Amino acid sequence: MLKVATIIVTWNKLNDVCLLLADVAKLNIDNIQLDTYVVDNASTDETPAYLEQHYPQVKVLQTGENLGGSGGFSYGLQIVSKLEYDYLWLLDNDVRLDTQSLCALVETLQTYSEVGLVGSQIRKLDDPQTIQEIGSFIYPKKAHLKINFGNASVISTSEILQGKPYLSVDACAAASLLVRREVVQQIGVWEDFFIHFDDVEWCLRAKQASWVVAANPASIVWHASPDFKCRPWISYYDERNLCYCWQKHRPELVSRRVLVSLPRLTYYAATGRAFWAEVSTRGFEDFIKGVRGKMPGVLPYKEYALEEIINTPLKVFVQADIYKDKNQSFLLQRLQSDKKLLHWKGSENVVLKLGLWLSSWFWKPVDIAIVTCRHPNLYGMNLAKQVYIFTGSGYVLTKVNAITLLRAMFQTFYQLIQVYRRSHGV
C-alpha cells in the first residue's frame, strides 16, 4: 500500500483548515494510506488546540513563530521527508478538493518515473467555471511567469492534454503539489522567501536536477482568485523573491525584471498609488542587499479602518468593486443605514461628466472617494477632497493633485533606474 503524507501550513485560518480537512476525509484513496500533518505558524486563533481536540487523527507540528509559507513548508518537509512515505502532498490551507484530486496525482508519479513533482488543475473558488492555472512557464519577455490556461473557461481533461500523458511545465503552485520523497531528499527544502515564488524556485531546482515537473488536469482543486487576495505589501515579496529565482536559475532576467517593472510602477505613482510603487521598489532594493525571510521594518504606508475614515455624515463616492469584499460590504451598508455615508452618484451624461471632472480641479463635489488599489476609478478620485485606496486589508490616504502625482512619478522612475543600474552587478 502506498503511503502519502499531506502537509498543510496555516496561520490564523482555522475555518479554512477545517473545510480542507473535511475535503481530505472525502477523498477517494483506495490502496493509499494518507496521513495529514498541519504545520501551525504560531496561530493566535487557537488552531493547534482545536485541531488536537476535534481532529485527533491529524498530526499538528508547531513552529513556534510565523515563518510564512516558505518556513512552514520547509519545517514540515524536514520532518516528514525523514519518515517512510512514498509521496508528500503540499496543500494551501484555503483550497478545496475534488474527491479524485489525490488519486490523479498519484497515478502520474506511479506511471511516469521521470516525473518528480506533479501539480493540480487549479480553478477559481469564486468562479468555479474558470481555470486559474495548470502550471506555468518562464516568460523571458516580462522576466516573469506565464500562467498555463490562466482565466480560461473549464474544458475537459482530454482537450487540455491533447493526447499527452501530462503537461510538462516549468513550475506548479504548491496550492496542490505532490512530490516524491526522494526528490526532497535530493534537492532539499524551500528557500527562505517567507511567501511567494518559493514553490517556483523549488520546481526550477527540481528541473535542474533532471526531474520533470508536471501538471495533471484530472486533479482538480479550487482556490481563491489572486484578484481577491491582492495586497500591495505582497508585491514586496513578489519582486524580491522573483529576482532571487532569476539570480539562481536565469541570471540574465534579474535586471530585465526591474526594467519591465518601471512603466507599471511609475504608472502606480502617477495614479495615486505611490505607496504600492514604494513597497515594490523596496523589494528590489532588499534583493540587492541580500535580505531574505520576512520583510524587515514596517510598511511604508499606514492603513486605516473604514470606521476611522467615515465617522460623521459625509458625501462619499465608493467604487463598486469594494462591495465584492463581504466584510467591507457589510460595514458600508451599516454606515449607510447610520446616515454617516451619503452615496454620491454623478450624472451619466458624458458632457456633464466631463464638465464636472474639469471643474473638480478647482472645486470638489465629494468629501471622500474610496477606490480599489488594483483598478482605481481615476475619474472618482479627482472629484474628492480626500481619497482613500482600499488595499484589501485597510485604507490608505493618498494625495491626488498634479504636483504631488508628478513628484511621486519622477521619484519612482529615478529610484528604479538606480536599482536597475545596481542590479547588473548582482
Q: Tens digits of per-residue pLDDT, 225-259? A: 765 567 899 999 999 999 999 999 999 999 999 99
Domain ranges in the chain?
Answer: 2-229, 234-302+405-423, 306-390
Q: What is the dihedral of CA 129, 134, 138, 142, to 10 degrees?
A: 10
Q: What is the pTM of this model?
A: 0.93
Residue 346 has pLDDT above 90, yes or no: no
Report pLDDT digits (tens) over 134-187. 999 999 999 999 999 999 999 999 999 999 999 999 999 999 999 999 999 999
DSSP strand E in 194-298: where?
A: 212-223
Cβ of 270: how many Cβ atoms within 10 Å? 18
User: Rounded CA gap, 148 and 120, in Å?
Assistant: 12
Q: Which fold has domain 2-229?
A: Spore Coat Polysaccharide Biosynthesis Protein SpsA; Chain A (3.90.550)
Half-sphere exposure in the Cβ direction for 94 (13 Å, CA): 13
Say what percent of the chain tops pLDDT 90: 88
- Res 362: pLDDT: 87
pLDDT of residue 150: 93
Provide the β-strand partners of residue 315: 342
pLDDT per position as a tens digit, 74-116:
999 999 999 999 999 999 999 999 999 999 999 999 999 999 9
Q: Report the C-alpha gap between 287 and 261 in whole angstroms.
A: 15
pLDDT at position 32 over 70 = yes
Residue 337's identity, in one-letter code, is S
> What pLDDT score does 227 carry?
57
Write down the pLDDT at residue 58.
97
